[in-house]
Amino acid sequence: FKNALLIVGLITGVAISAFAQNPLIMDQFTADPSARVFGDKVYIYPSHDIIATPGKGRAGWFNMADYHVFSSGNLTNWTDHGVIVNQNKVNWADSTAYAMWAPDCIERNGKYYFYFPAVLKPGTGKGFGIGVAVADHPYGPFVARTEPIKGVSGIDPNVFIDKDGQAYIYYAQGNIYGAKLKENMVDLASEPKILGNLPDKGLKEGPYLFERKGIYYLTYPHVENKTERLEYGMSNSPMGPFKFAGVIMKETPNCWTNHHSMLEFKGQWYLFYHSNDLSPNFDKNRSIRADSLFFNADGTIREVIPTLR
Ligand code: FUB
């Protein structure tokens, strides 16, 4: 069946894939999957949606108090390593905000750096800051640094290390920003700048940058109507400018947000994203999914048709 789909996909130019099991996590709500290969496993660092209760969170909105990490060696059986960062343990974060939004994690020199947005405590600033927690293993234990990254205000951090060792942080604040990071992975090495040549409206969140065969791909959710569409641009530089290159995934009905990451594991590329499969009537309680991803010979990405189960 998988082979038949692959042949249809090759003929039509659309990536139709059968994935072992979507959604990936069935016992809790998960969103914004930042997936990484560390060693022989895939680790997913998602947001953790919960349902607001009186005095805890905001009814009808996104509510997240902590982060879990999940790992798998076969993309079918996932181990939940439990809570790695909790809003109560981050001294600069407002622990009444329940706004631990989309995170990311990256490895450098044997240390694992977990980047997360959180609302600043009253008196320490306004809006979202981006914090870093550090661990010796991809599953923790992570220790949150006592200050957010200086000079960054925004959400949805994504971190990339280029082949020359230069690290970059991308995030959203009404637009998509990028900046160089110092080798310590926690201080900026350049002023954040708005990445050039992207759509001037509807880019609010969720940038994800990766490199393949010398091409830098900036991928992002773009909202024009009610729900987000995953699009991308290509460049020969990690700071752009990026040339719009197409749609990775069309709007998924019923879920306002989509948020994604991509990786290659055991010779196959995958797109990780989310919808609201376990909460069809409330799209702030989401569930992460994955599907195979294919490239054309010129480096462009084939559209991914979402699959369930
Ligand atoms: O999960 C909360 C926010 O919704 C994320 O930060 C966005 O990317 C969107 O998925």
Residue 215 phi, psi dihedral angles, 5° rounding: -100, 135
Distance of alpha carbon 163 from alpha carbon 114, whole angstroms: 20
Is ligand 1 within 6 A of the CB of residue 104?
Answer: no
CB-based contacts of 172, cutoff 8 Å, min separation 6 = 154, 155, 156, 203, 204, 205, 206, 207
How do strand 167-172 and strand 155-161 relate by DSSP bridges? antiparallel
Contact predicate 159/115, CB 8 Å: yes
- Which residue in the list 66, 107, 205, 277 is annotated as catalytic? 205
Mean pLDDT of all residues in 189-217:
94
pLDDT in tens, 127-151: 999 999 999 999 999 999 999 999 9
Atom of ligand 1 nearest to the CA of 206: 8
**Beta bridge mates, 150:** none
CB atoms within 10 A of CB 226: 10
Contact predicate 142/113, CB 8 Å: no
Closest residue by Cα to atom 1, ligand 1, is 101
Give the model's pLDDT for residue 192: 98
Is ligand 1 within 6 A of the CB of residue 235?
Answer: no
Mean pLDDT of all residues in 155-166:
98
The preferred substitution site among 257, 282, 288 for testing ligand 1, maximizing ligand atoms within 8 Å of CB, is 257
CB-based contacts of 281, cutoff 8 Å, min separation 6 = none
Residue 17 has pLDDT above 70, yes or no: no
Is ligand 1 within 6 A of the CB of residue 259?
Answer: yes
Least confident interval from 9-23, 55-69, 161-175, 195-209: 9-23
pLDDT in tens, 86-120: 999 999 999 999 999 999 999 999 999 999 999 99
Give the model's pLDDT for residue 185: 98
Give the model's pLDDT for residue 20: 60
Mean pLDDT of all residues in 229-254:
96
pLDDT in tens, 279-290: 999 999 999 999
Instruction: Confirm whether the ipTM is greater than 0.90.
Output: yes
Question: Where are any strands of DSSP class E within 162-267?
Answer: 167-172, 176-181, 193-194, 208-212, 215-223, 228-235, 243-249, 261-265
In angstroms, what is the span from residue 279 Cα to ligand 1's centroid? 16
- Which residue in the list 32, 107, 228, 231 is annotated as catalytic? 32
> Would you call 32 a catalytic residue per the annotation?
yes
Distance of alpha carbon 5 from alpha carbon 179, whole angstroms: 40
Contact predicate 247/303, CB 8 Å: yes
